[in-house]
Amino acid sequence: MAPRLNGVLNERVTDDDQYLLAAIELAWQARKHGNHPFGALLVDADGKIVAEAENTVVTGRDCTGHAETNLIAHGNRARRLRVLTGLNPVHEH
């Protein structure tokens, strides 16, 4: 049985929910660091988080420092990605 979140209409929590919560935590970190509150995760086909990034537009003084573009850069360095076929915030079941 899937775990449940307290106070969230008592809905079942899926892996996608856990990834979303992790991205929200990254967004809070970005905000604490003085940036806009956005975070992004890269999850492989096995469900392993292989890269994460937060928005750095303000502190990096770079208008391209969005969480998603930072994620691609971090993911590429971490995994030496050759092809990125798609970014989906939620995996369809």
**Structural domain boundaries, residue 55:** 15-79
If we measure between CA atoms, which residue out of 82, 15, 77, 2 comes closest to residue 43? 15
Query: In the chain, which residue ranges form alpha helices assigned H by DSSP?
Result: 15-32, 67-79
CATH of the domain at 37: 3.40.140.10
The domain total for the chain is 1
- Decide if 59 is inside a domain: yes
Per-position pLDDT tens, the chain of length 93: 344 444 444 445 577 888 888 889 999 999 999 999 999 988 877 888 888 899 999 999 999 999 999 988 876 666 655 444 455 554 444
- Decide if 75 is inside a domain: yes
- Decide if 6 is inside a domain: no
- Decide if 91 is inside a domain: no
